[in-house]
Structures are given as C-alpha cells and as structure tokens.
Amino acid sequence: MAYNELYGEIPMGGQFMTFPSSSFQRNNGLCGGPYIPCSLQQAPVDESPSEAMTVLGPQFGFGVATGFVLTIIVCFMSGWILPRETTFKYRCFTSKSSHHD
C-alpha cells in the first residue's frame, strides 16, 4: 500500500491492524489507525471523477475517431465495401456459369 498517494481514514480492525507502519509510507493523505492521528484540519483533497474524465476525453475521442476512419478507408481499399469486379475475390469466387443462359 505504500507510495500510492492514498487518502482518508485507515479502517480500524481486520488486517489493517497487522500492517507495519512502513506499509503506509508516502500516503500523506492517510490518517487513523495506530500510526497517524486524524485531525479536523487534515481534509483530503477530492478530485471529482468528471475532472479526470475531462482530461482523458479529447484524446480518447480523437483516437476512436481516427481508428474508425482508418478502418473504413482500409475496408474500401481492400474491396470489402463496394467490391470492384477486378478484385481477386470477385474473380475467384463468382460463378461464371450463372452469366450463361
């Protein structure tokens, strides 16, 4: 649990009571338990989930849009969408007997 930048009150009881104090290092937002007394002045800074989503939103959206456009382009170029009569797939898998009477 050390070095995870956790915050809040350490639960009393259970396995948390067996952890050495070194388990809580570099988690300056933690308090409580047998190691760090909680004070009213120490309030955790809460980052709302909407702020985290806003940071990742534009990059994720751009990546999805770029991937979609590239997929469509590859499908058109390979003949999977609107196949041309000259493609290998059309020549090999189209029955010529259906064109004769």
Note down pLDDT in tens along the chain; length 101 residues.
Answer: 666 667 777 777 777 777 777 777 777 777 777 666 777 544 555 555 555 555 567 888 899 999 999 999 998 888 777 766 665 666 666 666 555 54
pTM: 0.32
Query: Domain segments of the chain: what residues?
Result: 1-46, 57-93
Residue 29: name the closest of 52, 14, 47 by CA: 47
For the chain, give the number of residues: 101
Distance CA(50)–CA(71), nearest Å, equals 30
* Cα atoms in the 13 Å half-sphere on the side-chain side of 12: 6
Give the single-character DSSP code of 47: P
